[in-house]
Structure formats: C-alpha cells, structure tokens
Structure 1
Amino acid sequence: MSKVIVNAQMPLSYDSGQHNLLVFLEQHKQSVSFQCREGFCGACRCKLISGEVRYLQEPLAFVRKGEFLPCCSVPIGDISIEIPK
C-alpha cells in the first residue's frame, strides 16, 4: 500500500490493485481537470513533488520533467503531488 500526499495535506492510502491515479483522486474527492482520460490531451497534468509513477500506457501528451498524467499512471511507492488550481 502506498501513500499519496495531495497538496501537502493528509496522506491517502493507495492500494496497488486500484485504478489509475485520476480515478483514485476522484474517489477521494480531489478535483482534477481532465478531458480524454487516455493520456492524449494532457489536461489532467499534475506536479510530482516526490516519488515515482509508472505509466500504464505511455502518454501522447507532452509531459515536462517533474509532471505526470494521473489518467494513465499509478504510484510506485509513496508519492507527493500537487494538483493545479
């Protein structure tokens, strides 16, 4: 089980059998912008403060260093992220 810290708040428990990070964040009432849910558009782009994510499928949208797309990724261990407002 991994811990996901969102916007420097209390950690949320992520079970490795769960869906991608976008679905996980929505289930925990975290508001994330999105459009395609497939890694094509990049609308859900978030900042990865610490830790690592693994892509379930390689995104087609441009992702800068220090960013990730929660719609097509899962955490590798504990992570800390920032969701843009």
Structure 2
Amino acid sequence: MDLRGAAGPGGDALPPVGDILTPPAPARRFFDDVTAPVKEFALIRDASHFASFRHPDRFLDLMLTHVRPAVTAQPAAR
C-alpha cells in the first residue's frame, strides 16, 4: 500500500508502518473526525498494530510524555 500523500502531524506524509489491520491513512482520517479536548496522532515506526509489544520502550515513552500529562495534569515523566 502506498501511503504517500496521506497527511500526518503537521501535514507531513505518513510513513508506511505495515499495519494491515489499521493502516495509518484511515486511522488518521478517523482521528481527524474525533473531537476531544486533548488529542495527538502518533505512529511508532515498524510497530504495526502491536506497538506496546513490538516496541515497548517507544510505547512507554509516548504514554509517559503525552498521555500521562493529559490525564493527570502532572508534568511529563521519563
């Protein structure tokens, strides 16, 4: 699947991450339709649909630096 032309954060092209369950382009379109007080679209390269298992270090870093501060009002940890 060629994802060139699909918009990522800031309008840059989404990288091909090989997720056949939820490819980045439709995931991004869904994300763009969601209204939330705080949201950010993040991809972990070479993680596919199982980011927390394939790249636990990157996944944890995103959780600590982006999700935790949003839900706890505490500064980013790590």
For this structure pair, what is the TM-score category when the shorter chain's length is used for normalisation?
under 0.3
Higher share of residues assigned strand:
1
Higher share of residues assigned helix:
2
Q: Using structure 1 for the length normalisation, give the TM-score.
A: 0.21
Structure showing greater Rg: 2
Structure of greater relative contact order (alpha carbons < 8 Å, 6+ residues apart):
1
Q: Using structure 2 for the length normalisation, give the TM-score.
A: 0.22
